Structure formats: structure tokens, C-alpha cells
Amino acid sequence: MTRFAAVAAGWLIVMAFAIGPSESTAFPTTDPVEPTAEQRRELEDLKNRASNALERYEHCREREAAARERARHFAHLGDWELAAAWRRAADAWRRAAEAWRETERVIRLWLVDRVDAHFNLEAPPGTSYEYDPNSRSAAFVPRQGTTKDSKRVIFCPNAFEHCITWLASVKLHELRHAWQVHNCWSEQEGFWGDCTFWGHLAELDAYGQMELAHDAGTIVLPDWIKDHVRRKIREHLRGVLRNLNFGIFFQLDQLVVLPGTERQAVLTVVNSTSEPRDFVIEVADDLGWDIFPPDVVELSLGPEEVQHLEIMVAVPPDATAGANRIQVFDHSLDSPLPMDTLYMVVVPHVRVHVNDAPLFSGAPGTEAVWELVLTSPRPSTDPVDVTLEFSNTEGWDMQAGNGGLPASKSVVNVTVSEDDPAVVIGSILLDTPPVAEYSAAIIEVTAIPDGDLDAAVTAQFPVTIEQLDLGPVGFEFPPPGLPVAGESTPIFLDVINSGGWAVDSFFDITFEVRGPDEDGPVVYEERQTAEVPEPGEVITVEFPAATFPEPGIYTATIVAPAPLADKQDTGVPDSDPDNDELILTFEVLEAPTAVDQWGIF
């Protein structure tokens, strides 16, 4: 917890009494936990499946948006017929998008549920989860439809864009808002607003939960997200305190220290009022380290005066790795609240960092390579000898670099210092077991400095294997967008490779149309062969022209890749057959009359 969250915690105590002690204590009593490797793998698999559906949804939405922009363009030109045709094309893409939206929604909410279970996140009674594929926020709790007995928590794609811990952290944040509502905070003026006292306090409390879980090591965030969370904590703390025109602040939130040393910290004391003000300053810590000055410091500041105070902290020689919280109090406030907090962190001997999240593409036999960076965070030039042990959850064959040690559990010795990190290259063979069944594993690295098992640190990282995953996303007719009964029209089908791997080969795609009624006869059936698209690429395949005999609603079935085709020869299984078939309806328009001869149909 940073200095800001610590101050906020003090404010929350005050607020709790304002609300009523019996209600205010009804927050969850259990802490989040770190999921097991197996649970993490399940979550990663769900996340990847939902991402595939989202890609298709977004593709359809892009086409819809483009068609609507074209419709607007022609409407501005006064070409109402063409504008109407583009609107109908947009509507077809909208319907396709709706189908993918539902698929994605189901998987997302399943994932949200599993995150609760695996991270031990506790929702207040009466909480329901929803999914909004359109919002670019991570998640939100809306005021409308949310009451003390019924809380709505709505998740958005951004919550799923990064690592699973980001999703868990977002959940923790939003569930905190749900708990706030449950405990009647939302009855306070300004709770739902922006830049209000209660709005800032609600966010400060929710972001504080994210930071607490991060600091506890249960929901550990990547650096850039952690920085974002700390920035938000600072922003909202300032929002809470913006009418408090005085304060005592540590100049830094955190200092890295070594056992047996002394470190200086600087306090900034601010009186931003128009009257003189007396401060009675005391600095205290959790672990009982020696702090100078040991007693309170009395200080009198004039209007808009700022002073800096230096304190010295002695780190005991036997201090173990971890943080000591140092707080500053102003006893002139007649309150036990800390004004600010500084953490002095005794660092471990060695840290392990994985360069980027390893994400590989491949078929059986592919070798995936990853990179570990070892650093010593201690400000010392003495090198540390590190022994590394590797293991993985799936029992895959594994090779470590620096001499190569082929075993599922390997050991490598390196020397590392603060200015001279060591890089270890590792590799994993993907042929056991088949990748079609296992797409992710957790690699665990244990680093033992100088043979000291008590000082060992571990790091985990997932290895995800991207595969071939073809699927249709829709079809279209040339502008104006919908066919006319009795007239020949070409057909264009779109197929995406939403997997992470491609092969230089071909696949088959079939297109079948029934109609005009739901159980009407097959009026069109064709099969085409196309090259496998690159990962993320959408290809358009032109089909022979079709003539639909009469107007009405037709049903189209697209299958890609089609089974048992003569030319299908990828040699690699399609990883997700569930999305290989797409069924959509479209309208065949009535032929224009003689009066309508200028029309575009």
C-alpha cells in the first residue's frame, strides 16, 4: 500500500463511523488467493477462446460501421437508393455481429465466474455479472438498476485484453464498488459522480484493493498496470484531500535498502492556507527500527510556507527481505490518522524476469524459445551465484540454455550483479503431448542465490501455443449489398484465421443456401479452395454467381474449413471446430418494376 492508500485507509475509518458501524464492517473477510497452475491454465484457455469470438465480432462490426459510413456518404449526396442499399448491407453485418457477440458473452461470463472461484473473490449477496462488448472501459457498476439488494457489475473487453491477473484485479475493483453499494456508501451525495468527495473516496478504496492484492502477491500486476493503479490512487487521494490545504508528504513512496545500512528520507510539510499553522510531527514504523529524530518535531509554518525535514532510518543487520512501513502523523489534528506512508524495502538477492509473455505458434515438433533475465536488485557490486531449477505443469520436454540441460527439471548456474544481469535462454519441445489438446503450460523457475534455499525466489510464466484456427465470419454481395430475385449476383465469403499460426497450404470452404422459407430447398451449393490466411488475416473468397428465384428470406450455411475435401491438406488440426460453421439469413429483394427503372436493382 502506498502513502496515499494509507492516508485513505484513515479516512475510511472516519467514513465508516459516518455511515454506521454495523453496516460498515460488512466487507469481505477473506483475502484473494493465487490460483494453482492448473487453474491458471484453465483460465488462459477460456480467455483465448473468447478472444477468437471477439475478433469475429469486431470484424463484423468494422464492416457494419464502414457500410453505415457509406450510407451516410450517399445520403449526403442525395443518392437515397444507394444509401438504403448500404444500410441493408450494414444490417446484415449487424446480425452477424450479434451472433458472435452472444458466443463471446457466454464464454466471457463463464471466465468471470471461474476467476471468482480460483482467486477466491467474494461478491456481496445480490451481485449479477453482465458483459458489454462495446465499452472500451475495463468494467463498471452503473447506477441504474443497482440497489443495495441488487448490484450490477458489467465487464468489457478491456478487462480480458491482458493477463488473467488484470481481469482478477479489475474484478476485485468492481466487486469493491459492489460492496460499497451493499454497505450503503451509494446513498451518500456524490457517490455516483465524478470529482466529488464520495466519488474519489469510492475509487481510492477500490484501487487500494488492487494494490493491496498486488503487494500481498496474490494478484500480481505487470509494471505498467501497477503504475496505472498507483497513478489512480494518487489522483483520487488528491481528490479526497483537495479541500485539506495542508499536509506532510514523504518525497518518495518507497526506498530500497540493505541490512546494516542507514537511509535518509525527506518529508515535505505544506501549509497552503492563509493562516499560520502548527504541526506536531511524529514518524513511526511497524518493525521498530531506529529512527532519528526519535521524538515528535514541532513546526510552525506561515501561510503558503513549505519546509523539508530529513529523517534517518537504521536498517538492522538481520533484516530479512520484505517491507517496513514508516508512517508520519500530525498530532495537532487530534487524530490517529497517518498523513503519509513510506515503505523501506529490504530486497532479495536476485530477481527473475521473463522477457515478454512467451507465445508460440507451431505444430508438433516445433521448439519454443524463451528468455529469462536475472538481476540482483541490491546496490552491491558483489556477484551472486544463482542456481535455477525449472519445471512445467504439463510434463513437456524442456531444455535450458547455457550449456543445455535437457530435462523436465533442469539446473543452471549463473553469476549476477546489479550492473551485470544474466540472460538465460530456454527452450521447450512441443511434441509431447499433441498441441491440439494442450495449448498452454505454466513454467516455474526457482532461483536459489548462493545455495541459500531460504532466500530462493520463484517466478511463473505461461507458455501458450497458438494454433491454426480457421472460421467463416460472413459473406457479402457487391454493392448495393443485397441480391435481387431473378438476377445473377456474385458472392464473396470472408474467412479469418483467428489462431496464431498458419501453414503454407489450402483449405476448402463450402457455401449452401436454402430458401426462400426456413425449410426451403437448397438453391445454391458450391465449394471453393483457398490458401490458408496468415494469423489474424481475413481473406475474401469469390464464389460463382448465384441466381435466387424469388424474393424472401434465405438461409446461408458457410463451413470453413470444410471436412473431407480433396484439396484440404494442412496436415494440422483446426484448433476450434466449434466456430467452423456459420449460419446467417439474408434478404433477396423483389425485382424493380418498370416505374423503378432508374433504381439500382
Partner 1 sequence: MKRTLAVLLGACAFVALTFPLRGENRQFLVYEDFTDFLTAVIPPDWTVEDANADGFTWEAVEWGGARGGPSARYLAGPDAPADDWLILPLLPLEPGVEYKVEFHVRVTDPNLPHSLDVVVGTSAAAGETAASFPSISNSDPERYEATFTVLDADDYHVQFHTTSPAGSLGLFLSRVIVSEPEEDLTAVLQLDANVYHPDEPNVFDGDEEIRLLVFVQNDGADPVTLNGRLAVGPEDAPDTVLAYRIVGPDGTMIPFEARVATAAPLPDDFRDTEPGAFAFKFDDLNNGVFDLSEPGDYTVQAVYRNVHLPETGTAWRGILVSEPSTFTVE
Residues that bind partner 1 (CB under 8 A): 61-62, 64-65, 68-69, 71-72, 87, 90-91, 94, 132, 134-146, 152, 154, 158-159, 161-162, 166, 170, 173-174, 177, 180, 192-195, 199-200, 202-203, 206, 224-225, 227-228, 231, 235, 238-242, 245, 247, 249, 270, 272-274, 303-304, 306
Please say which residue, 174 or 576, places its beta carbon nearer to partner 1.
Answer: 174
Say if strands 290-292 and 411-416 run parallel, antiparallel, or are unpaired.
unpaired
CA 116 to chain centre: 15
Residue 222: CB minimum distance to partner 1, A: 11
- With cell 416505374, the residue in question is 595
Residue 227: CB minimum distance to partner 1, A: 8
Round to whole Å and give the CA distance between 89 and 93.
7
Q: Helix axis angle, 164-182 relative to 197-216, nearest 10°? A: 140
Cis ω before 561 (30° cut-off from 0) = yes
Please say which residue, 200 or 378, places its beta carbon nearer to partner 1.
Answer: 200
3-state class (DSSP) for residue 149: coil
Residue 42: CB minimum distance to partner 1, A: 24
| HEC secondary structure over 217-252 | CCCCCCHHHHHHHHHHHHHHHHHHCCCCCEEEEECC
571 in the Ramachandran plot: left (φ > 0), alpha (ψ -120 to 50) or beta? left
Please say which residue, 8 or 495, places its beta carbon nearer to partner 1.
Answer: 8
Residue 554 · residue 582 · CB < 8 Å:
no
Please say which residue, 29 or 274, places its beta carbon nearer to partner 1.
Answer: 274
Residue 594: CB minimum distance to partner 1, A: 24
Please say which residue, 251 or 432, places its beta carbon nearer to partner 1.
Answer: 251
Please say which residue, 247 or 471, places its beta carbon nearer to partner 1.
Answer: 247
3-state class (DSSP) for residue 363: coil
Measured in degrees and rounded to the nearest 5, phi and psi for residue 255 equal -130, 135
Please say which residue, 8 or 491, places its beta carbon nearer to partner 1.
Answer: 8
Please say which residue, 180 or 498, places its beta carbon nearer to partner 1.
Answer: 180
Q: Which helix (H) or strand (E) holds 344?
A: strand 338-346
Please say which residue, 14 or 369, places its beta carbon nearer to partner 1.
Answer: 14
Strand-by-strand arrangement of the 522-531 sheet: 522-531, 506-514, 552-559, 581-588
Please say which residue, 199 or 516, places its beta carbon nearer to partner 1.
Answer: 199
Measured in degrees and rounded to the nearest 5, phi and psi for residue 508 equal -105, 150
The total of other beta-carbon atoms located within 10 Å of residue 84's CB is 17
Residue 601: CB minimum distance to partner 1, A: 19
List 313's β-bridge partners, or say none.
263, 291
Residue 84: CB minimum distance to partner 1, A: 9
Residue 439: CB minimum distance to partner 1, A: 23
Residue 346: CB minimum distance to partner 1, A: 23
Residue 233: CB minimum distance to partner 1, A: 12
Residue 442: CB minimum distance to partner 1, A: 25
Residue 340: CB minimum distance to partner 1, A: 12
The residue type at 149? D
Residue 466 · residue 360 · CB < 8 Å:
yes
Please say which residue, 99 or 523, places its beta carbon nearer to partner 1.
Answer: 99
DSSP letter assigned to residue 560: S
**E strands within 347-456?**
351-354, 359-361, 367-375, 384-392, 398-400, 411-416, 422-429, 440-449
Round to whole Å and give the CA distance between 221 and 211.
9
